[in-house]
């Protein structure tokens, strides 16, 4: 059978969807005509002859009727002696499932309050002979399309399991809560689908399941059988010797043996808004559909009760009668609903039946409810990111529209989320629409948002505060190397870089800065630097990377050689900055990642020459500069997600830097051309022309020194009256 189930599992799932749409659930038993504590007849059914029955050999009251939550129900309790075999069920229906049909059983159940243990079985069953309950091994097995209820003594919750207890279908269900249950069973496959969701209580028509109610699809029957399922319901409390088990209550049994869940009713149905719907518009019209019982000859009219008191609506108090004796199936209230208010409504239906007596019936209808939309404050202006210099004032603001007075509270967070409250701190006295942070410093960096309440709550978007500064500066001088702890010391922010392989000794060479005799490092895979917890763009979504490099002219890796990199895995790294082979014996610089952008220069890096390189990210564009000149730009991508990965100074054996690196600096803003020029000038001592192609320079800078001054006038004067015009200056030969 297991192989059959594997083949038909998906088919069962889709079959369920068809069943829900096409068939007819008819009421079987709601116990309303039973007396309190009524004795069940105590007979074992023979084949299909039973009707409503139980199998208890003594009238001990373990299976009986009881009023529960205002409705007459069936109550089942295991016998304290644990010696009697019992169960209860209904059979002899006009439409039992035969071997090629799908059948649906709907009922409501509740496990009583307390902490008594539980091991019961509910569901459809099959009958083979009249003695099927005389052995313990048969009792549970004959609950074929069904499930177990289980919890140990002392547990406040219970689980829904398969009848063999092997699989938990739903866990942690609450005692003293009613649940709607649908079993959709198929004899042809010996499997069923199960749906369970919380019910408002006992009593009333069956409801329809939704896909989210599914507890399992393609569940094998409790025991293989060629006999038809003849439920619609079978309940069997397990024997728990000496201990009285928890009470289980059953009510509202509906059944279809022809494949259904299209409910036939004499009451108004399918309310709009749906039962228990929330956030209902204030001007919502109410509507419903007419009853669909085929035995109704005519719907005579409806009375609609509407109010905020459930009991008044239930009992039909005149004060909540909104409209009487209407034949419309909709109602438009005279005034709008109130914010944040739960409303109850009921449609009482009067019909004339299609029978010889033309019987007139009034169906009270179920009480439906909905809740009007919350008066949420609406934020019309969100806080924006701020980048401030130390000592400045940072400002965040929100603007709000609200039908009620609002209050504000600003928070600081360690992340870009306004719903992870464990790391959020309410800012003292920050209770207005504007947050001002004066004399800011690096300690103020973080993420800020506002909680707006009226008293319903809305949260603003999260905005970041970045304090403009140099984050890290590794001079890479031997004097700034901690040989004891094997660290390249950071002169700016304390982000000391650890040597990758402990015990490795860096090779220091003459640097570009100053220059210092041992002022740069010729890295190898063992001495490369590793920095944790440094994400330059965390609070600003910007950064600038600066370094001096001296390529030794050796071969470059297939995918380039790392200068700096944030993250270690190509698929997720934030960015990588590499030297790349580009031809004619020289190399270029590429700043890129796996998420779209790639700023790559042409052949601008010569061997054995110190070159200043710089890369910037401004939130949109990546740019690369060589010796203070813009060399490449790309605006087509984004930074990668690995914000927690290590920051690496050069790479591994496959992509370590061939040569020396000096004076690495990292800033948390994107430098402009002037700031980058000074990074170059401060080390090289050479001036740099920001824009040699400037039109003014092209016209008036006669000596090409990037300055228009008296020297250019002198240059012009030295050529005064130079004339090559014919015939003005040159005579005919």
pLDDT given at position 42: 47
Distance CA 329, CA 312 (A): 22
> DSSP 3-state assignment of 81?
coil
Q: Average the pLDDT over 64-84 and give the result.
A: 72
- Residue 526: Cβ-neighbour burial (10 angstroms; 0-12, 13-18, 19+): middle
Residue that wins the pLDDT comparison between 646 and 18: 646
At 294, is the pLDDT very low, low, confident or very high (cuts 50, 70, 90)?
confident
Structure-token pair, residue 534: 């440094």
Q: What is the largest CA-CA distance in the chain?
A: 146
Please provide the average confidence, as pLDDT, over all residues in the chain: 83
Delimiting residues of CATH 2.60.40.10 domain(s) in the chain: 380-467
pLDDT given at position 56: 43
Looking up tokens 């309310």, which residue turns up? Answer: 271
Q: Which of 212, 234, 237 is nearest to 150 (CA)?
A: 237
pLDDT given at position 223: 59
Q: What is the CATH number of domain 2-263?
A: 2.60.120.200
pLDDT given at position 564: 97
pLDDT given at position 370: 94
Weakest mean pLDDT among 69-78, 275-284, 546-555, 633-642: 69-78
pLDDT given at position 44: 41
pLDDT given at position 80: 47
Q: Average the pLDDT over 354-366 and give the result.
A: 88
pLDDT given at position 17: 36
Q: What is the CATH number of domain 470-684?
A: 2.60.120.200
Render pLDDT for 675-691 as a digit per residue (tens, 0 to 9).
999 999 999 999 998 88
Q: Average the pLDDT over 569-592 and give the result.
A: 89
Contact 352, 358 (CB under 8 A): yes
Residue that wins the pLDDT comparison between 539 and 559: 539
Residue 621 predicted with pLDDT over 80: yes
pLDDT given at position 145: 80
Weakest mean pLDDT among 17-21, 155-159, 409-413: 17-21
pLDDT given at position 39: 55
Contact 627, 673 (CB under 8 A): no
Residue 634 predicted with pLDDT over 50: yes
pTM to 2 decimals?
0.56
Distance CA 235, CA 145 (A): 12
Weakest mean pLDDT among 131-145, 198-212, 380-394, 582-596: 131-145
Burial 560-579 (b: 16+ CB within 10 A, else e): bbbbbbbbeeeeebbbbbbb
Residues whose CB is less than 8 angstroms from the CB of residue 682 and which lie 6 or more positions away in sequence, other chains included: none
Burial 162-191 (b: 16+ CB within 10 A, else e): bbeeeeebbeebebeebbbbbbbbbbebbb
Sign of CA dihedral 630, 631, 637, 641: negative
Render pLDDT for 421-465 as a digit per residue (tens, 0 to 9).
888 999 999 999 999 999 999 999 999 999 999 988 999 999 999
Q: How far, CA to CA in Å, does 333 sit from each of 250, 281, 312, 364, 670? A: 38, 12, 18, 21, 59
Compute the half-sphere exposure of residue 731: CA atoms within 13 Å on the CB side of its CA.
1
Residue 48 predicted with pLDDT over 60: no
Residue that wins the pLDDT comparison between 65 and 268: 268
Weakest mean pLDDT among 236-245, 508-517, 561-570: 236-245
Q: Average the pLDDT over 543-558 and give the result.
A: 94
Delimiting residues of CATH 2.60.120.200 domain(s) in the chain: 2-263, 470-684
pLDDT given at position 589: 95
Residue 714 predicted with pLDDT over 70: yes
Q: Which CATH architecture has domain 269-372?
A: Sandwich (2.60)
At 132, is the pLDDT very low, low, confident or very high (cuts 50, 70, 90)?
very low
pLDDT given at position 305: 97
pLDDT given at position 147: 86
Q: How far, CA to CA in Å, does 622 sit from each of 264, 387, 600? A: 66, 19, 10
State the CB neighbour count (10 A cutoff) for residue 593.
24
Render pLDDT for 51-62 as a digit per residue (tens, 0 to 9).
444 444 344 556
Residue that wins the pLDDT comparison between 361 and 27: 361
pLDDT given at position 456: 86
N residues, the chain: 733
- Residue 602: Cβ-neighbour burial (10 angstroms; 0-12, 13-18, 19+): middle
pLDDT given at position 247: 87
**Percent of the chain residues past pLDDT 90, beyond the cut:** 49
Distance CA 721, CA 702 (A): 16
Residue 110 predicted with pLDDT over 90: yes
Residue 316 predicted with pLDDT over 70: yes
Residue 181 predicted with pLDDT over 90: yes
pLDDT given at position 9: 32
At 31, is the pLDDT very low, low, confident or very high (cuts 50, 70, 90)?
confident
**Percent of the chain residues past pLDDT 70, beyond the cut:** 82
Render pLDDT for 200-241 as a digit per residue (tens, 0 to 9).
889 877 877 877 788 888 888 765 555 555 555 666 655 555
Contact 12, 193 (CB under 8 A): yes
DSSP conformation letters of 240-308: -TTSPPPPEEEEEEEEESSS--EE--SS-EEEESPTTEEEE-TTPPEEEE----TTEEEEEEEEEEEES
DSSP collapsed to 3 states, 557-589:
CCCCEEEEEECCCCCCCCEEEEEEEEECCEEEE
Q: What is the CATH number of domain 380-467?
A: 2.60.40.10
pLDDT given at position 88: 63
């Amino acid at each position: 059978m297991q192989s059959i189930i594997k083949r038909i599992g998906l088919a069962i799932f889709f079959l369920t969807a068809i069943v829900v749409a096409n068939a007819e659930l008819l009421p079987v038993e709601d116990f309303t005509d039973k007396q309190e504590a009524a004795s069940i007849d105590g007979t074992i059914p023979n084949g299909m002859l039973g009707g409503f029955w139980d199998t208890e050999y003594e009238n001990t009251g373990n299976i009986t009727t009881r009023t529960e939550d205002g409705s007459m129900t069936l109550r089942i309790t295991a016998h304290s002696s644990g010696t009697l075999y019992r169960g209860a069920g209904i059979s002899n229906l006009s439409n039992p499932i035969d071997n090629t049909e799908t059948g649906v059983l709907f009922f409501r159940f509740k496990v009583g309050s307390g902490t008594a243990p539980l091991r019961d079985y509910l569901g459809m069953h099959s009958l083979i002979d009249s003695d099927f309950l005389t052995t313990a091994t048969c009792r549970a097995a004959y609950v074929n399309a069904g499930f177990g209820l289980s919890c140990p003594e002392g547990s406040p919750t219970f689980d829904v399991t398969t009848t063999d207890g092997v699989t938990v279908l739903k866990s942690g269900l609450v005692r003293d809560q009613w649940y709607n249950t649908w079993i959709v069973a198929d004899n042809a496959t010996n499997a069923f689908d199960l749906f369970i969701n919380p019910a408002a209580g006992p009593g009333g028509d069956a409801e329809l399941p939704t896909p989210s109610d599914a507890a399992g699809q393609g569940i094998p029957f409790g025991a293989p059988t060629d006999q038809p399922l003849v439920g619609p319901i079978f309940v069997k409390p397990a024997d728990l010797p000496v201990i009285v088990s928890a009470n289980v209550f059953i009510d509202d049994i509906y059944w279809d043996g022809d494949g259904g869940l299209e409910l036939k009713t004499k009451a108004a149905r399918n309310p709009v808004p749906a039962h228990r719907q929330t956030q209902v518009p204030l001007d919502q019209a109410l509507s419903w559909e007419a009853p669909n019982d085929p035995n109704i000859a005519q719907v005579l009219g409806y009375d609609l009760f509407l109010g905020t008191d459930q009991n008044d609506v239930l009992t039909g108090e005149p004060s909540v009668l909104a409209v009487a004796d209407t034949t419309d199936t909709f109602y438009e209230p005279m005034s709008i609903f109130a914010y944040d208010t739960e409303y109850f409504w009921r449609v009482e239906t009067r019909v004339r039946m299609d029978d010889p007596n033309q019987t007139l019936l009034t169906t009270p209808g179920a009480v439906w409810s909905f809740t009007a939309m919350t008066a949420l404050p609406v934020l019309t202006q969100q806080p924006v990111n701020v980048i401030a210099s130390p000592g400045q004032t940072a400002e965040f603001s929100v603007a709000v529209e609200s039908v009620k007075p609002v209050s504000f509270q600003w928070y600081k967070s360690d992340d870009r989320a306004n719903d992870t409250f464990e790391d959020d701190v309410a800012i003292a006295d920050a209770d207005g629409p504007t947050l001002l942070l004066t004399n800011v410093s690096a300690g103020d960096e973080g993420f800020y948002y506002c909680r707006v309440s009226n008293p319903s709550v809305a949260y603003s978007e999260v905005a970041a505060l970045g304090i403009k500064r140099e984050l890290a500066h590794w001079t890479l001088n031997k004097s700034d190397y901690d040989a004891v702890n094997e660290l390249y010391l950071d002169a700016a922010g304390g982000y000391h870089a650890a040597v990758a392989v402990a015990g490795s000794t860096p090779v220091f060479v003459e640097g570009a800065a100053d220059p210092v005799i041992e002022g740069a490092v010729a890295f190898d895979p063992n001495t490369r630097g590793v920095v944790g917890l440094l994400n330059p763009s965390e609070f600003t979504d910007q950064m600038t990377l600066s370094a001096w490099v001296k390529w030794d002219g050796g071969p470059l890796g297939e995918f380039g050689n790392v200068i700096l990199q944030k993250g270690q895995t190509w698929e997720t790294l934030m960015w990588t900055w590499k030297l790349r082979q580009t031809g004619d014996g020289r190399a270029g610089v590429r700043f890129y990642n796996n998420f779209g952008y790639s700023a790559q220069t042409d052949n601008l890096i010569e061997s054995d020459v110190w070159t200043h390189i710089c890369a910037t990210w401004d939130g949109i564009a990546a740019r690369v500069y060589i010796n203070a000149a813009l060399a490449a730009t790309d605006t087509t991508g984004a930074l990668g997600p690995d914000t927690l990965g290590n920051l690496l100074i050069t790479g591994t054996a496959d992509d370590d830097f061939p040569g020396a690196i000096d004076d690495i600096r990292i800033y948390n803003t994107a430098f402009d051309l002037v700031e980058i020029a000074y990074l170059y000038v401060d080390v090289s001592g050479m001036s740099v022309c920001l824009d040699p192609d400037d039109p003014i320079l092209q016209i008036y800078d006669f000596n090409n020194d990037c300055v228009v001054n008296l020297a250019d006038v002198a240059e012009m004067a030295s050529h005064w009256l130079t004339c090559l015009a014919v015939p003005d200056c040159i005579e005919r030969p």
